[in-house]
Amino acid sequence: MNVISFLRRTVFILGLLACFAVPALAAPVKADHLEAELVSEVDAIQPGKPFWVALRFKFEEHWHTYWKYPGDSGLPTSIEWKLPAGFTAGEIQWEHPVRIEVAGLAGYGYEGEVYHLVQITPPATLKPGESVTLAAKAKWLVCKESCIPGSADLTLPLAVKAAAVPSALTQAFSDARAKLPLLQSEWKVRATKNGDKLALLLTPPAGTTDLTSLNYFPDRELVIEDGEPQKLQRVKAGFLLETVPSKVAQTLPTVLTGVLVTKDGWRGPGSEKALAINVPVEPATAFGDGLTVVAGTVTKSPAKPLGFQLLLVALGSAFLGGLILNLMPCVLPVLSIKVLGFVEQAKDGHSKPWQHGMVFAAGVLISFWTLAGALLALRAGGNQLGWGFQLQEPAFVTALAAILFLFGLVLFGVFEVGTSLMSVGSGAMQKSGFGGSFFSGVLATVVATPCTAPFMGSALGVALAQPAWVAFIIFTSLALGMAAPYVVFSASPALMKFIPRPGAWMEAFKQGMGFLMMMSVVWLLWVLGQQVGVDGVAVALLAFILMGFGGWILGRWATFTSTNRTRRIAQIVAAIFIFGGGFWVVYTARTLPQVSASGIKASTDKDAIQWETFSPQRIAELRAAGKPVFVDFTAAWCLSCKANERVAIDVPEVKAEIKKRGIVMMKADWTNRDETITKALAEFDRSGVPLYVFYAGKNEPKVLPEVITSGIVLDALRTAN
How many residues can be counted in the chain?
Answer: 721
Regarding whether 280 and 315 lie in a shared domain, the answer is no
Give CA separation, 258 vs 24, 177, 195, 226, 506, in Å. Answer: 40, 17, 22, 13, 73
Regarding whether 353 and 267 lie in a shared domain, the answer is no
* CA angle in degrees (0–180, nearest 5) for 620-260-683: 35
Distance (Å, whole) CA 161 – CA 175: 26
CB 388 within 8 A of CB 674: no
Stretch (H or E) spanning 281? strand 274-282
Cα 218–chain centre separation:
24
pLDDT (tens digit per residue) in 94-125:
999 999 987 668 899 999 999 999 999 999 99
Regarding whether 421 and 345 lie in a shared domain, the answer is yes
With 0.75 as the threshold, say if the pTM is over it: no
Q: Region 530-534: what's the mean pLDDT? A: 80
Host domain of residue 287? 188-300
Q: How confident is the model at residue 93 (pLDDT cuts 50, 70, 90)?
A: very high
Q: How confident is the model at residue 13 (pLDDT cuts 50, 70, 90)?
A: very low
Regarding whether 486 and 559 lie in a shared domain, the answer is yes
Higher pLDDT, 267 or 57: 57
Burial class (CB in 10 A: 0-12, 13-18, 19+), 116: buried
Regarding whether 205 and 150 lie in a shared domain, the answer is no
Calculate the average pLDDT of the chain.
80
Position 14 in a domain = no
pLDDT tops 60 at residue 508: yes
Residue 283 C-beta-side C-alpha neighbours within 13 Å:
5
pLDDT (tens digit per residue) in 198-254:
999 999 887 665 788 899 999 999 899 998 889 998 888 889 999 999 988 888 889
Regarding whether 400 and 325 lie in a shared domain, the answer is yes
Q: Which of 314-318, 402-406, 715-719 comes out lowest in average pLDDT?
A: 314-318
What is the total count of domains within the chain?
A: 4
Select from 282, 300, 318 the last residue of a domain.
Answer: 300
Q: Region 61-88: what's the mean pLDDT? A: 94
Regarding whether 576 and 652 lie in a shared domain, the answer is no
Regarding whether 584 and 440 lie in a shared domain, the answer is yes
pLDDT tops 80 at residue 2: no
pLDDT (tens digit per residue) in 559-575:
777 888 888 898 899 99
Q: Region 407-422: what's the mean pLDDT? A: 66
Residue 315: predicted pLDDT: 82
Q: Region 306-322: what's the mean pLDDT? A: 74
Regarding whether 620 and 565 lie in a shared domain, the answer is no
Q: How confident is the model at residue 11 (pLDDT cuts 50, 70, 90)?
A: very low
Position 319 in a domain = yes
Residue 29: predicted pLDDT: 92
- Comparing C-alpha atoms, which of 89, 87, 72 is closest to residue 138? 89
3-state class (DSSP) for residue 31: strand
Q: Which of 238-242, 446-450, 712-716 comes out lowest in average pLDDT?
A: 446-450
- Comparing C-alpha atoms, which of 523, 544, 513, 515 is closest to residue 440? 513
Distance (Å, whole) CA 640 – CA 457: 13
Distance (Å, whole) CA 613 – CA 629: 12
Distance (Å, whole) CA 430 – CA 420: 9
Select from 300, 323, 356 the last residue of a domain.
Answer: 300
Burial class (CB in 10 A: 0-12, 13-18, 19+), 299: middle
Residue 603: predicted pLDDT: 53
Position 1 in a domain = no
Q: How confident is the model at residue 16 (pLDDT cuts 50, 70, 90)?
A: very low
User: What's the sign of the alpha-carbon dihedral 541, 544, 546, 552?
Assistant: negative
pLDDT tops 60 at residue 714: yes
pLDDT tops 70 at residue 550: yes
Higher pLDDT, 547 or 387: 547
Q: Which of 10-19, 390-399, 492-501, 543-552 comes out lowest in average pLDDT?
A: 10-19
User: What's the sign of the alpha-carbon dihedral 523, 528, 533, 537?
Assistant: negative
pLDDT tops 60 at residue 395: yes
Find the CATH number of the domain harbouring 710: 3.40.30.10
Give CA separation, 323 vs 103, 353, 370, 458, in Å. Answer: 30, 20, 20, 15
- Comparing C-alpha atoms, which of 554, 586, 549, 588 is closest to residue 572? 554
Regarding whether 209 and 80 lie in a shared domain, the answer is no
Regarding whether 517 and 580 lie in a shared domain, the answer is yes
Residue 450: predicted pLDDT: 58
Position 183 in a domain = no
Buried-exposed string 616-646: b where 16+ CB fall within 10 A, e elsewhere: beebbebbeeebbbbbbbbbbbbbbbbebbe
Distance (Å, whole) CA 350 – CA 198: 69
pLDDT (tens digit per residue) in 631-667:
999 887 777 788 788 889 989 999 999 998 889 999 9
Position 603 in a domain = no
Position 162 in a domain = yes
Q: At what angle do helices 468-491 and 434-448 cross, to 10 degrees?
A: 130
Position 455 in a domain = yes
Distance (Å, whole) CA 237 – CA 410: 59
Regarding whether 494 and 367 lie in a shared domain, the answer is yes
Position 170 in a domain = yes
Distance (Å, whole) CA 404 – CA 514: 9
Q: Which of 37-46, 114-123, 692-701 comes out lowest in average pLDDT?
A: 692-701
- Percentage above 70 pLDDT, the chain: 78
Residue 1: predicted pLDDT: 47
pLDDT tops 70 at residue 509: yes
Cα 399–chain centre separation:
30
**Number of alpha helices (DSSP H) and beta strands (DSSP E) in the chain:** 18, 26
Find the CATH number of the domain harbouring 248: 2.60.40
pLDDT tops 60 at residue 377: yes
Residue 537: predicted pLDDT: 86
pLDDT (tens digit per residue) in 262-310:
988 898 777 889 999 999 999 888 888 788 776 444 444 444 555 666 6
Find the CATH number of the domain harbouring 129: 2.60.40.1250
Higher pLDDT, 339 or 533: 533
Q: Which of 29-43, 58-72, 503-517 comes out lowest in average pLDDT?
A: 503-517
